[in-house]
A and B are shown apart, each in its own frame.
Chain A
Amino acid sequence: GAGVSQTPSNKVTEKGKYVELRCDPISGHTALYWYRQSLGQGPEFLIYFQGTGAADDSGLPNDRFFAVRPEGSVSTLKIQRTERGDSAVYLCASGPLRAADTQYFGPGTRLTVL
């Protein structure tokens, strides 16, 4: 079946601009995660959704970052007033049902803030 998809694959923006990154999870997966991977690092957790609600947003670095999942499927990560330090690959993962299940990762969106 289809895996996790993310759009766009690449996004270049200027400092101060607003960006939206989209994640389409595997059909039927209720758990959805966002991670951020900087160069030379492993993925770092940002936020976790169970259904429509954010069950854990403790990884969001500050209030410029926000994510939604209004219908319990597609999720959008929103970054306001982007900074150069936000440049990274943003990864989305989904899981079948519970927090304890295996996570399946998408290809990521490479964000570059000039």
Chain B
Amino acid sequence: AQSVSQHNHHVILSEAASLELGCNYSYGGTVNLFWYVQYPGQHLQLLLKYFSGDPLVKGIKGFEAEFIKSKFSFNLRKPSVQWSDTAEYFCAVRGYGGSQGNLIFGKGTKLSVKP
């Protein structure tokens, strides 16, 4: 069965610090990969996605993620975080072969940015 593992439950950073959130998935076939963000009191929003092509994907608000197929990883990065990045971040994968489009989510990483 497919699964997604997010290594960090809660990350606390100061403004301007660099961010990297880990995400590993288990699925041997073709995958689509996503990062969603949930700001306090808001619904899940798409941050970025990888379907094919360049494994370095750029998303909104200065976020990027790199798909490394050999490591089954899709880590999220941002060079310099802001207080407004405080949110919960979810990595998700959609594999092919049986399922018809549903996403498998990790447990999420809560990011707290101190001003």
Contacts and interface: CB of A to CB of B under 8 A. Distances in A.
Interface residues of B, number: 24
Interface stretch (B12-20, B41-49, B63-71, B74-82): B41-49
B113 interface: no
A48 B43 contact: no
Contact of A105 (B32, B44, B104): B44
Interface residues of A, number: 31
Interface in A33-83: 33, 35, 40-45, 48, 50, 55-56, 58-59
Nearest to A99: B101
B49 A100 contact: no
A50 B99 CA distance: 13
A43 B103 CA distance: 9
Contacts of A35: 103, 105
Given A40-B107, A42-B90, A42-B105, A56 B100 contact: yes
Interface of A: 3-4, 31, 33, 35, 40-45, 48, 50, 55-56, 58-59, 91, 93, 95, 98-108
